[in-house]
Structure 1
């Protein structure tokens, strides 16, 4: 198997992060954490804050869980020509397993994010989450 290089994986993650960046910026803009001119009290987030927060979450979920689970490629992975597949079967892992894999990335970050660096020296170029979920990222 032609395992994807670490740089490709990082690039794909950056692109996937950029996809939700506009929603994050708009949520911040509409967070409403200012002072009310009449009362002098700090105001909380308005409804647009929650709208953009929810839209960002939905776009990210579609990209990272649905697309990755169904096709093996988020928008970032597709742009860089890599795919996430099941280690044994060689097929996309499905939405549920893609979601659980995202949760397993918590383990990658526990000790100073070392798990994200595992692909630099691992024979199959897997993160700890990939090892837990028995997945690999390959060149498409």
Structure 2
């Protein structure tokens, strides 16, 4: 009987390890929390092609701008989108690999410069260069 109990414990923990490792690899805690009312995707459904619509999370709102994160089902890709109510361009965004780099994706247009960064990312050099961390996962210029 003891032998079976000891065998079951590694199987239980072994089953949970890939889930925890995947979540940590993403580096965006908001994606791990349950979706709320504010987490409704404001863009076109086509923008979510290849991504997990259930992972859409509103990260930050500032003035008329809302910043959303979304990830792929395997959490190997994460995206940052900025939607502005008063903008004719609708949204600006981009996606990048969630590997080991602190910066997941940098989006740069004539009017918007932003980065999606992993939680705990060292952004001191970016901030010295004029970037500002507005959320634990968002840096803007």
- Give the TM-score taking structure 1 as reference length: 0.29
- Give the TM-score taking structure 2 as reference length: 0.29
Greater share of helix: 1
Larger RCO (alpha carbons 8 Å, 6+ apart)? 1
